Structures are given as structure tokens and as C-alpha cells.
């Protein structure tokens, strides 16, 4: 990826940070957890989708645009720190993994262009800087690829009721003057996410407001449907978290390959000559096709897709889920399982050069302001998060593996019995 150097004035970055913080604070003040549904209706949003046990999806026509803003309300039993891990990326490698998993075959490139400040002893999830991503829009193969350059602000704070809250904001309008890249159309995004931990109910209450303008030749009625499609796909975010943790844990390690093995290490099924065998990239064990989880990993490629699919066994996949609740994030070893009316389109539809951060002599601001009262945010519509509601999917997968092993053992016992005993 050949991107021009980005040297930002620390004073300008600090001004943008304060402006984004003010937007976050206003959004948080206007949307306390108990009033978010009623506020959505009073702010002009209409219910687009509301299925039992799923998130509520609202849409509203954006100001001065034929495109829609999308609002999602949900509650999830996931831990707040786990949700933060989905979005927190402070290095190029981790950010590229996150985008590759999210966009899959439509991923083209991603990079962190500038970091003003990252995590500290006061806030383990704070980050502020500029990110770049390039992707194809799903279902629009006739259109050029899109790229987005945006400021991202993320961190942890407390709302006025004392609830621990993760905030995330992305805004590309400050980078409107960034040079256009070859064979891509600039995508403008603005999004604010709040994840509020309700300790008394043992859930996290979520509100996500996002707007995206793809520019170019994509008709608005097609792209509006894509927004809803992205929102629906966000129900897989708990799986994205596990995939991200597993791929990141294996970055920089050489794949293991066990040449011997005719028994699947996950389900104990026999793998004969007519059955495909796979090696888990994490532990190297031999597994059958039924116990493989394919996860995208980014690669440097000028020809799409810029990913490869690595094979992991279900035991490592579940093992990372289990370890994420503790201190270790390592896959298993080979011997053990592993608004007032809040609008986004004031600047998004008409980006102003005056609001753009202008290149100046290189510097990286310390970002030490506000450490005693940290603040925070992230993501556009392409990353909308609607996690699985009730049952832990990874616990279910582990139980399924154990059941499968028991059934295979019983079948082997029955086949090994003499015929006169089974008649």
C-alpha cells in the first residue's frame, strides 16, 4: 500500500479530539440506558426490524441526503471488556486482522496512519488517531472499491448514573482533504457507539448510531439495503471476537503440521483414505472437515481478495473463548484443549475543507489530557455489533464436541462386538 505520509499538527489533533468528545458527551447525555427506545422514536427513527430475542434496528432519512442513518439498540450478556476487545486495535497487524475478519473476501487493505495516544494505566482501552481501510461493498461488483480515512476515538468512562461505559466514535469528515487513492472512491463515515454496563442486570446495554456515504455511482436505495444487511450480519460479532483473538495469538508463529494421525483430535472420528484431513494452524493436530473453522487472515496482495483462509480446529476456537474469560489468550497446546434530534449529516454529506486536518511538520501528541476522566469510541456501519442474546455459543460448541465424541465411541463399541451379541 502506497499511501502519502500523514504528519498532523498536535494542536489540531487535540482540537479534533475535544470536538469528538463533546459529540460523545452530548450523545451519552441524550441517551441514558432507560430512555434509548423512547428517544429513538421521538428523534424520528422508524422501526425497521424487531425480532424476538434480537436487536432492534431503526432507520431514518439523513438530513440533506437520500441515504439513511441506522440506529441499533440491544442488550448482550457479553462482558464489557470482551466487547472492547472486538474494537480495540492499536497496531497495524491487529487492525488488519480485524478488518480482514469483518470484510472477508471484500477486504483489500487497512492501516493505522497516525496515533495520538493509546492505552494507559488510567484507561486500558483508550485510543485516538487516524485509520485507513479499503474494501469492496458487498453485492455491488459493478462499482469501484471504496476506501475511508477517519479519526477514531475510543475509551472507557462512566455515565452520570455511575455505569461503566465504553464509547467509540469514527468520523471521516476531518480527513476530507486526504488525497484520493487510485482505483477507489472515498467513503465518508460517521458513527457513535455506546456500550453501557448495567451491573444490577448483569448485561451491557448497547446503542449504535451510524451513517455512511459511499459516493460514486451506487444508487441510494441499493446502499440503504446494504446498511441493513451489514447490521444483520453483526449478530456474528461474538464469533468475530474469537476469530480475532485466535488469529492474533498465532501471528508471527509458524504453522504446525502433524504428518501422522488417522483420528480427528476434536471429535475422535476415524479419518480414512476417502476422508479429507486438515491440520489446525494453531496446534497442528489432524482434524476432519466437520471440525474445521476457517478464519480469514490478511496478506499483502494487489489482486483481491487480500486474505487467505487458515484452518483451525474447534477445540482451539473454543479454547480461546474459554481463555478469554481468564488471563491467557493462547490457543490449546497439542496435549490439551484450548440526541436532541441527533444528526450525523451536518458535515458528512458536505465535508468542509476547513474541518480537515492539514498536513504539517510531523509530531505525535501525548494525549495526556483527560486521564483522570478518560473518554472514548469507535466504528462505522460496516462493523455494527449485535451479539448472540441468551446462550453462550462457545459453551454449546464445547458440549456438542463432547456429545460427538461419546456417540463415536458408542458406535465403535457396537461395531467391535461379535455379531451374535448385537442380534
Longest CA pairwise span in the chain (Å): 88
Q: What's the Cα-to-Cα distance from 51 to each of 57, 74, 206, rounded to whole Å?
A: 9, 11, 16
Question: For residues 366 and 416, what is the distance between their CA atoms, to the nearest angstrom?
Answer: 70
As beta bridge partners, residue 211 has 69, 190
CB 215 within 8 A of CB 367: no
* pTM value > 0.85: no
> What 8-state DSSP symbol labels residue 244?
H
For residue 336 the three cell numbers come to: 490439551
CATH numbers and ranges of domains, the chain: 10-249+339-391 (3.30.530.20), 256-337 (3.30.40.10)
How much is the pLDDT for 311? 93
| pLDDT tens sequence for the chain (423 residues) | 678 778 899 999 999 999 999 999 999 999 999 999 999 999 999 988 777 667 888 999 988 888 899 999 988 888 999 999 999 999 999 999 999 998 888 899 999 999 999 999 999 999 999 999 999 876 655 567 889 999 999 999 999 999 999 999 999 999 998 988 888 899 999 999 999 999 888 899 999 999 988 887 777 777 777 776 666 555 677 788 999 999 999 988 888 777 677 888 888 888 887 788 889 999 888 999 889 999 999 998 878 889 999 999 988 988 886 544 443 344 554 334 333 334 454 434 444 444 444 444 333 343 434 333 333 333 343 333 334 444 455 566 666 767 777 777 777 777 776 655 444
Question: For residues 88 and 67, what is the distance between their CA atoms, to the nearest angstrom?
Answer: 28
How much is the pLDDT for 230? 65
For residue 209, what is the enclosing H or E element?
A: strand 203-213
* 156-162 contacts, C-beta under 8 A, 24 or more apart: 156/84, 156/123, 156/124, 156/125, 156/126, 156/374, 156/376, 157/373, 157/374, 157/375, 157/376, 159/28, 159/32, 159/33, 159/196, 160/29, 160/32, 161/32, 161/33
Q: What's the Cα-to-Cα distance from 290 to each of 186, 205, 269, 282, rounded to whole Å?
A: 41, 35, 10, 17
> How many whole angstroms from its chain centre is CA 23?
22
Collapsing DSSP states into helix, strand and coil, what is residue 22?
A: helix
Nearest to 314 by CA among 268, 357, 259: 268
Burial status of residue 365 (CB atoms within 10 A of its CB: 0-12, 13-18, 19 or more): buried
**β-pairing, 184-186 with 203-213?**
unpaired
175: left (phi > 0), else alpha (psi -120 to 50), else beta? alpha
Q: 462457545: which residue's cell?
A: 394
Measured at the alpha carbon of residue 195, what is the angle toward residues 189 and 199, in degrees to the nearest 5? 180
Which residues touch 309 (CB under 8 Å, ≥6 apart)?
Answer: 294, 295, 296, 297
Question: For residues 67 and 114, what is the distance between their CA atoms, to the nearest angstrom?
Answer: 30
Amino acid at each position: 500500500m502506497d499511501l502519502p505520509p500523514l504528519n498532523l499538527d498536535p494542536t489540531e489533533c487535540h482540537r479534533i479530539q475535544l470536538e469528538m468528545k463533546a459529540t460523545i458527551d452530548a450523545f451519552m447525555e441524550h441517551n441514558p440506558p432507560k430512555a434509548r427506545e423512547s428517544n429513538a422514536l421521538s428523534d424520528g427513527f422508524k422501526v425497521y426490524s424487531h425480532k424476538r430475542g434480537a436487536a432492534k434496528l431503526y432507520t431514518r432519512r439523513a438530513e440533506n441526503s437520500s441515504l439513511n442513518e441506522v440506529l441499533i439498540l440491544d442488550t448482550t450478556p457479553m462482558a464489557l471488556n470482551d466487547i472492547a476487545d472486538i474494537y480495540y486495535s492499536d497496531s497495524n497487524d491487529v487492525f488488519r486482522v480485524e478488518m480482514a475478519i469483518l470484510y472477508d473476501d471484500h477486504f483489500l487493505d487497512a492501516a493505522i496512519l497516525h496515533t495520538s495516544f493509546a492505552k494507559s494505566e488510567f484507561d486500558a482501552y483508550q485510543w485516538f488517531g487516524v485509520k485507513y481501510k479499503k474494501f469492496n461493498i458487498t453485492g455491488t461488483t459493478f462499482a469501484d472499491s471504496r476506501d475511508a480515512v477517519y479519526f477514531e476515538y475510543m475509551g472507557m468512562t462512566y455515565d452520570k448514573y455511575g455505569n461503566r461505559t465504553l464509547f467509540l466514535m469514527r468520523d471521516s469528515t476531518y480527513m476530507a482533504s486526504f488525497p484520493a487513492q487510485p482505483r477507489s472512491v472515498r467513503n465518508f463515515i460517521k458513527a457513535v457507539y455506546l456500550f453501557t454496563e448495567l451491573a444490577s442486570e448483569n448485561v451491557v446495554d448497547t446503542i449504535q448510531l451510524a451513517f455512511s456515504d459511499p459516493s460514486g455511482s451506487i444508487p441510494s436505495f441499493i446502499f440503504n439495503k446494504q446498511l441493513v444487511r451489514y447490521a444483520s450480519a453483526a449478530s456474528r460479532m461474538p464469533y468475530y471476537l474469537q476469530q480475532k483473538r485466535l488469529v492474533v495469538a498465532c501471528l508471527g508463529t509458524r504453522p504446525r503440521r502433524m504428518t501422522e494421525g488417522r483420528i480427528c483430535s476434536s471429535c475422535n472420528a476415524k479419518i480414512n483414505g476417502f476422508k479429507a484431513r486438515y491440520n489446525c494452524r494453531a496446534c497442528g493436530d489432524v482434524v476432519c472437515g466437520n471440525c474445521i473453522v476457517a478464519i480469514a487472515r490478511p496478506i499483502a496482495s494487489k489482486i483481491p481478495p487480500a486474505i487467505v483462509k487458515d484452518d483451525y480446529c474447534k477445540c482451539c476456537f473454543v479454547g480461546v473463548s474459554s481463555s478469554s474469560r481468564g488471563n491467557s489468550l493462547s490457543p490449546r497446546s497439542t496435549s490439551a484443549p484450548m440526541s436532541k434530534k441527533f444528526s450525523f449529516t451536518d458535515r458528512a454529506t458536505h465535508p468542509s475543507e476547513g474541518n480537515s486536518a492539514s498536513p504539517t511538520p510531523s509530531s505525535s501528541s501525548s494525549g495526556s489530557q483527560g486521564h483522570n476522566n478518560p473518554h472514548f469510541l469507535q466504528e462505522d456501519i460496516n462493523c455494527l455489533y449485535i451479539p448472540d442474546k441468551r446462550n453462550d455459543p462457545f459453551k454449546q460448541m464445547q458440549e456438542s464436541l463432547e456429545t460427538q465424541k461419546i456417540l463415536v465411541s458408542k458406535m465403535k463399541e457396537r461395531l467391535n462386538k461379535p455379531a451374535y451379541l448385537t442380534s
